[in-house]
């Protein structure tokens, strides 16, 4: 056994058996780290049987191989905590003392990720797609044992000064989280299976007329003529979603129901089930000659157990035709996204040769990320736009291509643990199925990175709920719409730096005793959310109740009591600057009316307004605008609010008319003109507000003060607004 050492960057190294990585994650370009072979360095030394890695402390990994299985083991320090492994266990976010199997399965393990972070400043990514077991000090109290059941020895080691630093380093290799399209951060409604065109249009109208923000209407399997159609021959259900037979397959003109949905500003998402062989396309295999067995000529079945059972006969896959090819017409009709069911993904296929050559024990875990990748790339190539894919299943690297929801497990407290575990692996765009009849679920789901209701077997639409539940739902829905600028800037941070949008407390307040907190998290830089159990910690500092304005002293645990329509805690850091907007019927309805919320304290605060076209990938090449805003903190009874010049730009695109012979290309807005900024000083009655020596008029609204920064004033930014308290 010979181990090679490769330096990926100053904080990441790859150690593998042989000269080339054979992992699917590397072969298919899912992992971005390309290492340079080196001899032993100051940070890492490698022998035949061990690896010495210097992070915050020296880490000695013993490497052992037994046939096709190999084992990595390391001695643990007494106070070391561990996090990560994706959605493989929902018992808690602190993993020490647990033994966890990473093998995708229904409900129990939707999104295994062989990524483990240590509070001692190191992390390991096992570059494998085979079944893996992490024994984190369960059977041997102070020993981590990782058993990998196939493939070559291949893993990455990372170092950083903090857990947050480790997540940033990890996503340099596993990929930064994608920016969802703008509307993806609004509300997604997955409709009841029995819905048809009249109800779809009526419900869309009700959301608009009742001023209940909603951005995406999703259709469950009944949108297809054949229920649960796994094939590439699927088409619209003619009894529920009739499309005139004389029209082009990709038509979206005024003679289709797509037109009315589009006129009301609603996006569409379609449910999919998948059992297609994606490996042929990923490996670049073209249609070959076949022998009588149904496999490509020359195929060798090396797995002995295949001789004992039937060989899987794949009647779905069209070799040489990518899975996304047959979805193009639905994208041209209306689909801005797809919901990928766990479906066949969670089941093992022990008698299947994927791509005519790979066994299921190698492909099973990786299938979800390969599927998400092909959906992402297919949609991008076809439209030039971002796709709103949300998938129940995930693996390493999924954050580059898709959002996830917590599968068919509802919207309870356990789903929050799964989202936190994803976050510790660098996966950002996460959510679950909101339980509309559960006030606690409404609170947490609307304060997640993205929000989804699922009515597939119920009719709990807002207008069918009792008055109290309806009012609570509408309250939170409008709250989410109002904080969209904050959410979108947080998504930008995730994409640029790898920081997840939803942040478990130990990720931000490391070493403060929050390792086992499963009911509170940071959403972005400034919001602290308490969910379900209202006995919750408040980190040190002052925290302002977002709903009431009451100030709480941190550094302690509290029993929070929700009031009115609220059903959980939402605090903002005192001193923070948070940009919100007036709620809209949908995110793309109009230009946003921005509101700059300042929570004056001795602490400085900073944020930014992030703007892009909301559809394309221009942001990857600098096609976005950023307006930085900073509060100095109170000094000698004064506070300075600085609004910088808006930097950057982006171009729009016209629509294509949606006529009979062309697909549906929406109008994409370019950079809007500078707008007025309303400023709210929370819990503050200033004596004066001045800009360049000129007084700015302000007014009081309860405990707050409000004034306006005009578009004309912004044209001369940077602006330094002096506030005398």
What single string gives the DSSP state of each residue in 232-296? S---B-TTTS---TTS-TT--STTSHHHHHHHTT-EEEEEE------HHHHHTPPP--B-TTSSB
> What size, in residues, is the chain?
725
| Burial (CB count <10 Å: 0-12, 13-18, 19+), residue 541 | middle
pLDDT-based confidence at residue 141 (cuts at 50, 70, 90): very high
Residues 319 and 280: beta-carbon distance below 8 Å: yes
- Domains annotated on the chain, with CATH: 3-174 (2.60.40.1760), 186-497 (3.20.20.80), 604-724 (2.60.40.1180)
Give residue-wise pLDDT tens across range 250-265.
888 888 999 999 999 9
Regarding beta strands 187-190 and 154-159, do their DSSP bridges make them parallel or antiparallel, or are they unpaired?
Answer: unpaired
Give residue-wise pLDDT tens across range 398-411.
999 999 999 999 99
In whole angstroms, what is the distance from residue 203 CA to residue 210 CA? 10
Give residue-wise pLDDT tens across range 265-295.
999 999 999 999 999 999 998 886 554 445 5
Give residue-wise pLDDT tens across range 549-590.
999 999 999 999 999 999 999 999 999 999 999 999 999 999
Give the model's pLDDT for residue 667.
Answer: 86
Question: To 5 degrees, how large is the angle CA 377–CA 381–CA 382?
Answer: 120
- Report the sign of the C-alpha dihedral through residues 245, 247, 251, 252, in that order: negative
Q: Which two tokens stand for residue 212?
A: 């209940």
Percent of the chain at pLDDT exceeding 90: 90
Give residue-wise pLDDT tens across range 492-542.
999 999 999 999 999 999 999 999 999 999 999 999 999 999 999 999 999
Looking at residues 29-35, what average pLDDT do you find? 90
Q: Is a pLDDT exceeding 80 seen at residue 207?
A: yes
Percent of the chain at pLDDT exceeding 70: 95
* pTM of the model as a whole: 0.95
In whole angstroms, what is the distance from residue 702 CA to residue 708 CA? 17
Q: Is a pLDDT exceeding 50 seen at residue 710?
A: yes
Give residue-wise pLDDT tens across range 306-360.
444 445 689 999 999 999 999 999 999 999 999 999 989 999 999 999 999 999 9
Print burial letters for 16-48: b (CB count within 10 Å at least 16), e (below 16).
Answer: bbeeebebbbbebebbebebeeeeeeebbebee
In whole angstroms, what is the distance from residue 178 CA to residue 181 CA? 9
pLDDT-based confidence at residue 34 (cuts at 50, 70, 90): confident
Chain CA centroid to CA 145, Å: 29
In whole angstroms, what is the distance from residue 505 CA to residue 545 CA? 18
Which residue in 445, 394, 439, 401 sits closest to 421, CA to CA?
Answer: 394
Give residue-wise pLDDT tens across range 672-690.
999 999 999 999 999 999 9
Q: Is a pLDDT exceeding 70 seen at residue 484?
A: yes
What is the residue-averaged pLDDT of the chain? Answer: 94
Q: Is 92 helix (H, G, I), strand (E, B) or coil?
A: coil
Give residue-wise pLDDT tens across range 6-15.
999 999 999 9
Q: Which two tokens stand for residue 692?
A: 């360049």
Looking at residues 642-654, what average pLDDT do you find? 95
Residues 92 and 414: beta-carbon distance below 8 Å: no
Peptide bond connecting 204 to the previous residue in cis, omega within 30 degrees of 0: no
Give residue-wise pLDDT tens across range 212-233.
999 999 999 999 999 999 999 9
Looking at residues 710-725, what average pLDDT do you find? 97
Q: What's the 3-state SS for 43-88?
A: CEEECCCEEEEECCCEEEEEEEEECCEEEEEEECCCCCCEEEEEEC
Q: Is a pLDDT exceeding 70 seen at residue 661?
A: no
Give residue-wise pLDDT tens across range 494-504.
999 999 999 99
Q: Is a pLDDT exceeding 90 seen at residue 393?
A: yes
Looking at residues 437-457, what average pLDDT do you find? 96
Q: Is a pLDDT exceeding 80 seen at residue 299?
A: no
The answer to which of 161-170, 306-315, 375-384, 527-536 has the lowest mean pLDDT is 306-315
Give the model's pLDDT for residue 288.
Answer: 63
pLDDT-based confidence at residue 654 (cuts at 50, 70, 90): confident
In whole angstroms, what is the distance from residue 81 CA to residue 119 CA? 5
Give the model's pLDDT for residue 664.
Answer: 64
């Amino acid at each position: 056994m010979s181990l090679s050492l490769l330096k990926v960057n100053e904080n990441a190294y790859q150690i593998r058996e042989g000269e080339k990585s054979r992992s699917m994650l590397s072969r298919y370009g899912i992992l971005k780290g390309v290492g340079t072979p080196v001899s032993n360095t100051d940070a890492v030394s490698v022998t035949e049987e061990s690896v010495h890695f210097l992070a915050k402390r020296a880490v000695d990994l013993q490497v052992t191989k037994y046939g096709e299985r190999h084992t990595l083991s390391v001695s643990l320090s007494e106070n070391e905590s561990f996090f990560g492994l994706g959605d493989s266990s929902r018992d808690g976010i602190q993993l020490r003392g647990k033994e966890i199997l990473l093998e995708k399965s229904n409900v129990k393990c939707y999104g295994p990720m062989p990524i483990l972070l240590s509070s001692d400043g190191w992390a390991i990514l096992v570059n494998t797609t085979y079944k893996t077991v992490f024994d984190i000090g369960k059977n041997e109290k102070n020993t981590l044992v990782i058993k990998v059941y196939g493939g070559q020895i291949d893993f990455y080691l990372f170092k950083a000064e903090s857990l947050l630093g480790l997540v940033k380093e990890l996503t340099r290799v596993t990929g930064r989280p994608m920016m969802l399209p703008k509307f993806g951060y609004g509300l997604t409604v997955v409709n009841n299976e029995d819905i048809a065109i009249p109800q779809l249009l009526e419900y869309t109208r009700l959301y608009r007329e009742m001023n209940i923000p909603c951005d995406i209407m999703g259709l469950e399997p009944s949108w297809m003529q054949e229920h649960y159609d796994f094939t590439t021959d699927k088409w619209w259900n003619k009894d529920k979603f009739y499309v005139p037979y004389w029209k082009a397959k990709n038509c979206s003109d005024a003679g289709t129901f797509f037109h009315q949905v589009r006129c009301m500003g609603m996006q569409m998402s379609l449910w999919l089930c998948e059992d297609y062989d994606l490996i042929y396309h990923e490996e670049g295999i073209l249609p070959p000659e076949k022998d009588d067995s149904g496999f490509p000529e020359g195929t060798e079945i090396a797995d002995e157990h295949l001789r004992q059972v039937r060989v899987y006969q794949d009647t779905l896959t069209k070799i040489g035709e990518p899975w996304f090819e047959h979805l193009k017409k639905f994208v041209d009709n209306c689909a801005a996204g797809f919901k990928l069911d766990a479906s066949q993904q969670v089941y093992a296929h022990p008698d299947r040769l994927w791509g005519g050559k790979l066994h299921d024990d190698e492909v099973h875990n990786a299938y979800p990320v390969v599927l998400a990748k092909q959906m992402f790339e297919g949609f991008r190539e076809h439209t030039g736009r971002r796709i709103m894919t949300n998938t129940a299943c995930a693996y390493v690297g999924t954050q580059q291509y898709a959002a996830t929801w917590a599968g068919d497990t509802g919207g309870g407290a356990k789903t929050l643990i799964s989202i936190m575990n994803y976050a510790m692996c660098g996966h950002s765009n996460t959510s679950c199925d909101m339980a509309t009849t559960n006030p606690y679920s409404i609170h947490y789901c609307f304060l997640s990175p993205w929000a989804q209701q699922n009515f597939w077997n119920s009719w709990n639409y807002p207008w069918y709920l009792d008055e109290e539940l309806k009012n609570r739902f509408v309250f939170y829905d409008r709250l989410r719409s109002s904080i969209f600028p904050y959410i979108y800037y947080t998504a930008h941070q995730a994409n640029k730096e790898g920081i997840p949008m939803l942040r478990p407390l130990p990720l931000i307040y490391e070493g403060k005793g929050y390792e086992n907190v499963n009911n509170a998290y940071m959403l972005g830089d400034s919001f602290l959310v308490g969910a379900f159990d209202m006995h919750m910690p408040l980190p040190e500092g002052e925290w302002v109740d977002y709903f009431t304005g009451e100030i709480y002293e941190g550094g302690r645990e509290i029993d929070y009591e929700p009031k009115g329509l609220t059903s959980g805690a939402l605090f903002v850091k005192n001193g923070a600057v948070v940009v919100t907007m007036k709620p809209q019927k949908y995110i793309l309805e109009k230009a946003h009316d921005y509101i700059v919320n300042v929570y004056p304290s001795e602490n400085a605060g900073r944020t930014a307004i992030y703007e892009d076209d909301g559809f394309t990938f221009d942001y990857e090449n600098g096609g976005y605008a950023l307006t930085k805003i900073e509060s100095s903190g109170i000094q000698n009874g004064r506070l300075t609010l600085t609004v910088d010049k808006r930097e950057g730009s982006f171009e729009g695109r016209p629509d294509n008319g949606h006529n009979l012979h062309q697909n549906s290309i929406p109008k994409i807005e370019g950079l809007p003109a500078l707008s007025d900024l309303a400023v709210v000083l929370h819990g503050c009655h200033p004596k004066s507000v001045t800009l360049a020596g000129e007084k700015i008029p302000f007014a009081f609204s309860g405990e707050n003060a409000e004034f306006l920064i005009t578009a004309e004033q912004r044209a001369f930014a940077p602006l330094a607004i002096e506030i005398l308290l």
